[in-house]
Structure 1
Amino acid sequence: MTQHTPSAADASWLAREQLDTLPTAQVLDWLFNQDSLTRRLTRLSHDRFSVVPSAEGWQPLRDDECSALDLPPGSEGWVREVYLLGQDEPWVFARSVAGREALRDSGLHMDALGTRSLGELLFSNPAFDRGALRVRRYPAQWLPVQARTEGLWARRSRFSRGTLGILVAEVFLPAFWVALNAADLNNEEPS
């Protein structure tokens, strides 16, 4: 499980209009697309999509996560880290967190998801409202050791249902961009 307490500067998740330098149109499309990332990855991978849990459990949340969930700094929550695989390669690292009290009172059992996509669960349940997408270059120290790479684009949004807030961060790994570029070269429609 990755643990890091960021400084105030590390907590900079930005809206599209706040970006100093815009990435390419292709990167922007994947960062700010409101559709289900699971469904888009499934299409891009020609139905060779899977979820591989990396770590999950109760732990103190990072300060930027507490702030996004309106929790006091140092609050404990459920943390689920998974890899989203396309064609048997890790394409996205995802970290989902929810505060302890709200999750316990919600009836949602994040600990029972196994290899099921949390994103697909959230998108298939109309009771959840999705907040704005925010993006940043994800700090390498927040990634599991085997995935540590500087400068990877990540996006994050909050899904809410009543008092429950679930923060979902998705980090696009280098193998994803290679696969996307290969699909573009083959004139496949990835989106």
Structure 2
Amino acid sequence: MPHASFAMSPNWLTAAALQPAPVPEVWQWLFNQDSLTRRLTKLSANGFSVVPLLQGWAPLRDDECAVLGVAAGSSGWVREVYLCGHDQPWVFARSVAARSALEDSALDLAELGNRSLGELLFSDQAFARGELQVCRYPAAWLPSPDQQEGLWARRSSFSRGPLAVLVAEVFLPSFWPAAGVSLS
């Protein structure tokens, strides 16, 4: 699992702490509170799909453990997927949940298959979304074909009672032209 390596944790920042701010078009994608799945479905004119890369029980990264409120080195459910527009990966997403909280909940993430976790989280009114944070994602944490430094990522935690699901989304280089955003 080369993309699950434990590289140095990035500095996740809130909107208020992010300096310098990216261009407004990037900012809008990073800090929009709406469902990214729904936004990608609209952008792709219903050509949206989810390609699962891996899912199962695994050690969580220290930054994930801190957000989930569990001891460093704890295991949890890890799901990594590509969110695609017209079969082209636009976003790499990594979702994690602490083992104990997930096992005590009625949520079965193993049954998602090629369905979007975001759609599930946004359709269940019991989940409350935490504050969005962004960073430049470590290349070592990406699947090998996409290992590039400096890609914008965002994350937020979705909580329902004692269960928290941390969702990180990394915008791949192929996304920005499709969104009509120039990064140069």
In the other structure, the counterpart of 2:77 is 78
CA distance in 2, matches of 1:13, 1:110: 25
CA distance in 1, matches of 2:13, 2:31: 11
In the other structure, the counterpart of 1:32 is 31
RMSD after superposition: 1.1
What is the identity, as a one-letter code, of the residue corresponding to 2:50? V
1:110-158, Cα deviation, whole Å (9 max, x unpaired)? 0110011000000000000000000000000000111111110000000
CA distance in 1, matches of 2:166, 2:7: 16
Deviation at 1:4, TM superposition (A): 2.7
Q: How does 1:122-133 map to 2 (within 5 A)?
A: 122-133=121-132
Bigger share in helix: 1
In the other structure, the counterpart of 2:178 is 179
TM-score of the pair, normalised by structure 1: 0.92
Conserved? CA contact 2:153–2:169, under 8 Å: yes
Conserved? CA contact 1:6–1:64, under 8 Å: no
What is the identity, as a one-letter code, of the residue corresponding to 1:5? F
Conserved? CA contact 2:6–2:141, under 8 Å: no
CA distance in 2, matches of 1:47, 1:159: 25
What is the identity, as a one-letter code, of the residue corresponding to 2:57? W
Q: Identity of paired residues, percent? A: 62
In the other structure, the counterpart of 2:54 is 55
What is the identity, as a one-letter code, of the residue corresponding to 1:138? Y
SS at match of 2:122: helix
In the other structure, the counterpart of 2:5 is 4
CA distance in 2, matches of 1:11, 1:100: 23
CA distance in 2, matches of 1:127, 1:113: 18
Q: How does 1:112-131 map to 2 (within 5 A)?
A: 112-131=111-130
In the other structure, the counterpart of 2:102 is 103
Conserved? CA contact 2:54–2:80, under 8 Å: yes
SS at match of 2:131: coil
Moved over 6 A (4+): none
CA distance in 1, matches of 2:7, 2:89: 25
Is 2:108 the counterpart of 1:145?
no
CA distance in 2, matches of 1:5, 1:93: 17
Count of residues in Structure 1 that have an aligned counterpart in Structure 2: 180
CA distance in 1, matches of 2:49, 2:86: 8
In the other structure, the counterpart of 1:187 is none
In the other structure, the counterpart of 2:18 is 19
